[in-house]
Amino acid sequence: MTVATTPAGPAPTVPSSAAPATDADARLTARALLVKQVRAEAADVVSITLTDPDGAELPEWQPGAHLDLTLPSGRIRQYSLCGDPADRRSYTVAVLREVSGRGGSVELHDTALVGRTLDVRGPRNHFELRPAPSYVFLAGGIGITPILAMVRQVAREGGSWRLLYGGRDCRHMAFVDELLALGAAPGQILPQDVHGLLDLAGAVAQAPSDAVVYACGPEGLLRAAEEACERTGHTLCLERFGSQAPKEGSVAQEIGTGEQFEVELRRTGVTLVVPPDRTLLSVVLDVAPSVPYSCEEGYCGTCETKVLEGVADHRDDIFTPEERARGATMMICVGRSKSPRLVLDL
Ligand code: FES
């Protein structure tokens, strides 16, 4: 298993008034935002609200988007936006304290954050809410954060939706009152200590055939959602907190291996060789140690980098087939090159 490490420093920060040139620039540019509020939302869950220090409007976002936060220690972590996209003056994320995690959530819970600035990249969205006649939302634990924003939008638009939200117990389930106010039925909010595991298969089987299923939560919930949708043929969109266990013989098993290729870091002005037994990220870090990264397994999106020339060999768990075909950016922690030479905007 790859051990997540801390980058040597955060990505360059720009003043919020400096307009990035493209969508990719906007997603990949860091800005310093002020922590305005930290609020307990449930046992072990806090929400963190960020604003521009000068009160300026923040870039737009849509449900499913997340931010990369650079923590005071320099760790970079990803958190889904769960506030209201109509509020252009603040971003809100929610963080579950995970004592057996990689340290980022504990740091956020244990640090006095209000009044500090954090470097933030994004919003970026690899979990977009696509138009559909109806929706089934499946959420487990802190997986409710992107789903809350989706429910809010669909409810506001008068769309058809059904929710199944599970958690360890009532105390640990965040945003229950808000979900009920949006129209969730009490029977859709099901703490495990009372109701057991969610009946995902039943919820999917009962959904109209053209409903789109959105799922976010622990791996067991996502696997169950995948199996349920495979049986019924429903379209499933999901977001993982971690990488999938690689299937035997899959590309993921070969991360860090492959053909040798050259990479030019255009802004740094160097060309490097990526040998078969090293990752592109590790070679880049030799000369550009402040390049941001987090999971090193292709699921968090922190290392997303613009590709200026060449053909990326995508090996991440994030991009859709369309995004891969477009090839405008790549995850350099796992991605390699299909062309002998790759030019990156670094
Ligand atoms: Fe997480 Fe590359 S560091 S996708």
Question: What pLDDT does residue 258 have?
Answer: 76
Question: What pLDDT does residue 13 have?
Answer: 40
What is the Cα–Cα distance from 66 to 139, expressed in whole angstroms? Answer: 16
What is the position in ligand 1's atom list of the atom closest to the CA of 332?
A: 2
Least confident of 16-25, 221-230, 280-289: 16-25
Whether pLDDT at 8 is above 60: no
* CATH code of residue 30: 2.40.30.10
Cβ 303 under 6 angstroms from ligand 1? yes
* CATH code of residue 292: 3.10.20.30
Question: How many whole angstroms from 218 Cα to the centroid of ligand 1?
Answer: 19
Cβ 330 under 6 angstroms from ligand 1? no
* CATH code of residue 234: 3.40.50.80
Q: Is residue 289 part of a domain?
A: yes
Considering the domain architecture, whether residues 293 and 225 belong to the same structural domain is answered as: no
Question: What pLDDT does residue 34 have?
Answer: 98
What is the position in ligand 1's atom list of the atom closest to the CA of 333?
A: 2
Confidence of residue 27 (pLDDT cuts 50, 70, 90): low
| Parent domain of 216 | 2-7+127-240
Least confident of 15-24, 126-135, 168-177, 336-345: 15-24
Structurally, the chain folds into a number of domains equal to 3
75-89 residue pLDDT tens: 999 999 999 999 999
Considering the domain architecture, whether residues 176 and 94 belong to the same structural domain is answered as: no
Question: What pLDDT does residue 295 have?
Answer: 85
What is the position in ligand 1's atom list of the atom closest to the CA of 293?
A: 3
87-118 residue pLDDT tens: 999 999 999 999 988 899 999 999 999 999 99
Q: Is residue 15 part of a domain?
A: no
Q: Is residue 288 part of a domain?
A: yes
220-265 residue pLDDT tens: 999 999 999 999 999 999 987 765 544 333 334 445 567 899 999 9
- Answer with the one of 181, 215, 240 that is the final residue of a domain: 240
Cβ 291 under 6 angstroms from ligand 1? no
Spell out the residues 6+ positions from residue 42 whose beta carbon is closer than 8 angstroms to its own.
171, 172, 173, 174, 175, 176
Q: Is residue 14 part of a domain?
A: no
Spell out the residues 6+ positions from residue 298 whose beta carbon is closer than 8 angstroms to its own.
243, 252, 255, 315, 316, 317, 318, 331, 333, 334, 335
Q: Is residue 16 part of a domain?
A: no
- Answer with the one of 83, 107, 124 that is the final residue of a domain: 124
